[in-house]
Structure 1
Amino acid sequence: MDARIREHAEIIADHSTGIEAGDNVVIQLPKEAEELAVALHEICGDRGANPIYLNYSARAQRAYKRAADAFEEPGHRHALYAETDVFIIARGGENVTEDADVDPGTNAAYNRAMEEVKRERLSKTWCLTQFPTASHAQLAGMSTEAYENFVWDAVSLDWDAQRELQAEMVEILNEADEVRIRSGEGTDLRMRLSGNEALNDYGEANLPGGEVFTAPVRDSVEGEVHFDLPLYRYGREIDGVRLRFEEGRVVSHAAERNEELLTGILDTDEGSRYLGELGIGMNRQIDRFTYNMLFDEKMGDTVHMAVGSAYPETVGEGNELNESGEHVDMIVDMSEDSVIEVDGEVVQRDGTFVFEE
């Protein structure tokens, strides 16, 4: 086994989840990540934890979605998650476009049925990570070896140092009332944060980490945003997304590619037309775009926003929690002609934070 796989497993167990004796641990990985599963099972055995291994197949999931006439909440999965202490999932797989021919309406219906199950899972200690596979290397335009180095270098960052850097932005946002984001001619967006909490993502729930994120006050988002970096969703690329918000809600939208897929996402439910997250990327180790949101949203010269569900821990008492079967992150490149303002004060210009100058 590559020593970096074992190190990856140890970081998940020690830093990201803190697996302890007696923990019920669900490990959901694709077959390509079996060695990571082996290493995690060894750690669980050493510590007296109780692992269950779910072998996730995007191909099987596609077959189910295309064959089913309707979807119901899977109570047996909900019961499993209710008894789970730690949930670990890794992206990977041999075909990143497996869902490309699933109808957007089908995906929306499936996500609605899974909403309570998803909420149960997110209430537990969880970690989402990446296992480097040839398919993701190809998507990123990299050799398999180069992609392995990229992933494992990002995973094994000095997370204590990263936490300290990001703590400065957490403090700024936690004292903020209004944030304004301007970039080029297509993005000028305002939102209020009052009463909500900014969180420091330094490689716990997401591995790699490297962002500060919060939730906007649900009905406060006003203006237009052009997401000038593409995203992969359900096996297809959505590019050139433009959204216009009034009183927090998306009132118009467009995309240069796969606009019908974007429409399907926004039509999932009422909450999918509101922002559930504002995130600010701060990981300088991630220095290239790879069509993988787990990495791309952490890049230091970006902000991202997610339509759909908000993380409950970011929403303060008295503010409305946005709920949805979707949570779709989209990215704005802030490296040029861009400013983040907090209560009228510039905190980032062209990708550089004021505390970095």
Structure 2
Amino acid sequence: MNFNEKLAQYAELAVQVGMNVQKGQPVLINTTTDAVEFARLVVAEAYKAGASRVTVNFTDEFVSRAFYENASEEEINHYPEWAAKQRDELIAKNGALLWIDSEDPDLLEGIPSSRISAQQKAGGKALENYRNAVMSDKIAWSIIAIPSEKWAKKVFPHLPEEEQVNALWETIFSTVRIGEGNAVEKWHTHIEELESRATMLNEKHYKKLHYKAPGTDLTIELAEKHIWLSGASKTPAGVPFIANMPTEEVYTAPLRSGVNGTVSNTKPLVYSGNVIDGFVLTFKDGKVVDVKAEKGEDLLKELLNTDEGSAYLGEVALVPHESPISSSNILFYNTLFDENASNHLALGGAYGTNVEGGRDLTESQLPSVGLNTSITHEDFMVGSAEMDIDGELADGTLEPIFRKGNWAF
């Protein structure tokens, strides 16, 4: 396949598998000005699939940074009402949402962490309805990525500048199974394999997970009626979609108060245009009680103080070290990719779909089934080739789940 054929298949994949656009459905695309040409392909593909209206919101890196550098404190603490209403209308009409990510991982480096945190809090409050819809899969949504020059330079600094973007394109195509054969069919097969793992874990009904690795000694109790899921989700109408492309994970919800011990990150966390790395979190009864970081410690502390729930876990996800993205030995500085190369956890809100009957619960009801709630949900990577994970059954028996970073069964 030549480059244009791969690009066309990527747009098709985003529409048919990622969002799985239905006839008469409105579509909203959020992306940056680096993705204009590709966004046009997705728009055409969405209309071909029967979308009623396709709207694209473009952001620009200069404009985004200029806001944080120059806006008043009043505006930093405000989120536009019209932007929230746009998403509320999409939810009301059972629309589909796509993010096309291509941002510079260092976009907001040097911006005071307090300003970034204030805008995150404002957005979190204003978008509560939208967040609830996404976290409970009430609408179809998906995240994909394409290269930008700055991101490609961050990932491939050793390559000549004129080769960096193309190298990142080819790597992304590979991670989403584009290059040989029908990518849509390959994805259906891939999801079946992930769902078989989730089924095995659901049949075990583990009470706790025990993590051991250099710098990590952590116990995570799972919610009583937890459900392991793969990257495949379904709307209330039963329409399947893939939230993250690529995806290599199976995941579930921890008990809010059931996390104890210490965990160290194994890949950088890119949060709000900044890199946070070399950090260690200590948990007691579910909450982070101590934090240290070699880079970005102040921003990490701001994240943990966003609201009451941001210092608790909302997700535990298993990804084997010998997975396609991990085996590439590429550090993407992008959570969408790096989380699918590593076991990871998420600070903040839990997905209601990860517990029996949770989809129909409101955010305020989720604590009644042991789940955490927060306006944040930030994944961070903890897996490595040295990680062992044991599952604890109801009678206290321990069984190996991961050995040396990979599935033990």
**TM-score, shorter chain, exceeding 0.5:** yes
Equivalent residue, structure 2, for 1:188: 217
Q: 2:145 is matched with which residue: 113, 123, 130?
A: 130
Unaligned stretches of 5+ residues in structure 1: none
1:173 lines up with 2:194 in the alignment: no
In structure 2, do the counterparts of structure 1 residues 323 and 72 end up closer, same or farther at CA, with 3 Å as the change threshold? farther
Once the two structures are TM-superposed, the CA of residue 188 in structure 1 deviates from its matched residue by 1.1
Deviations 1:166-188 (A, max 9, x none): 2243124332211111112x211
Question: Letter of the aligned partner of 2:81 in structure 1?
Answer: G
In structure 2, do the counterparts of structure 1 residues 102 and 324 end up closer, same or farther at CA, with 3 Å as the change threshold? farther
Equivalent residue, structure 1, for 2:34: 32
Secondary structure class of the residue paired with 2:324? coil
Once the two structures are TM-superposed, the CA of residue 238 in structure 1 deviates from its matched residue by 1.4
| 8 Å CA contact retained: 1:307, 1:328 | yes
1:81 lines up with 2:87 in the alignment: yes
Deviations 1:250-304 (A, max 9, x none): 01110112211111111111111001111112472212222221111111xx211
Unaligned stretches of 5+ residues in structure 2: 178-182, 233-240, 359-367, 393-397
In structure 2, do the counterparts of structure 1 residues 19 and 346 end up closer, same or farther at CA, with 3 Å as the change threshold? same
Once residues 119 and 223 of structure 1 are traced to their aligned partners in structure 2, the CA distance between those partners, rounded to angstroms, is 34
Q: 2:123 is matched with which residue: 114, 126, 140?
A: 114
In structure 2, do the counterparts of structure 1 residues 160 and 331 end up closer, same or farther at CA, with 3 Å as the change threshold? same
| 8 Å CA contact retained: 2:105, 2:275 | no
Once the two structures are TM-superposed, the CA of residue 44 in structure 1 deviates from its matched residue by 2.6
Q: Kindly report the root-mean-square deviation, in angstroms, between the aligned alpha carbons of the 2 structures.
A: 2.0
Once residues 76 and 173 of structure 1 are traced to their aligned partners in structure 2, the CA distance between those partners, rounded to angstroms, is 43
1:90 lines up with 2:100 in the alignment: yes
1:199 lines up with 2:214 in the alignment: no
Q: 1:340 is matched with which residue: 389, 396, 400?
A: 389
In structure 2, do the counterparts of structure 1 residues 198 and 238 end up closer, same or farther at CA, with 3 Å as the change threshold? same
Once the two structures are TM-superposed, the CA of residue 328 in structure 1 deviates from its matched residue by 1.9
Question: Letter of the aligned partner of 2:172 in structure 1?
Answer: V
Once the two structures are TM-superposed, the CA of residue 119 in structure 1 deviates from its matched residue by 4.7
Relative to its length, the structure with more helix (as a share) is 2
1:220 lines up with 2:220 in the alignment: no
1:60-75 alignment, distance < 5 Å:
60-66=63-69, 67-70=71-74, 71-75=77-81
The aligned length equals 350
| 8 Å CA contact retained: 1:196, 1:319 | no
| 8 Å CA contact retained: 1:58, 1:99 | no
Once residues 310 and 292 of structure 1 are traced to their aligned partners in structure 2, the CA distance between those partners, rounded to angstroms, is 21
Secondary structure class of the residue paired with 1:83? helix
TM-score normalized by the length of structure 2: 0.80
| 8 Å CA contact retained: 1:112, 1:324 | no
1:349 lines up with 2:387 in the alignment: no
Equivalent residue, structure 1, for 2:348: 308
Secondary structure class of the residue paired with 2:36? helix
Once the two structures are TM-superposed, the CA of residue 305 in structure 1 deviates from its matched residue by 0.9
Equivalent residue, structure 2, for 1:55: 58
Once the two structures are TM-superposed, the CA of residue 23 in structure 1 deviates from its matched residue by 0.9
Question: Letter of the aligned partner of 2:168 in structure 1?
Answer: Y
| 8 Å CA contact retained: 1:273, 1:307 | yes
Q: 1:154 is matched with which residue: 175, 184, 190?
A: 175
Once residues 155 and 129 of structure 2 are traced to their aligned partners in structure 1, the CA distance between those partners, rounded to angstroms, is 31
Secondary structure class of the residue paired with 1:129? strand
Once residues 261 and 112 of structure 1 are traced to their aligned partners in structure 2, the CA distance between those partners, rounded to angstroms, is 13
In structure 2, do the counterparts of structure 1 residues 152 and 351 end up closer, same or farther at CA, with 3 Å as the change threshold? same
Deviations 1:81-126 (A, max 9, x none): 1221111111114x43221132212222212211241651524211
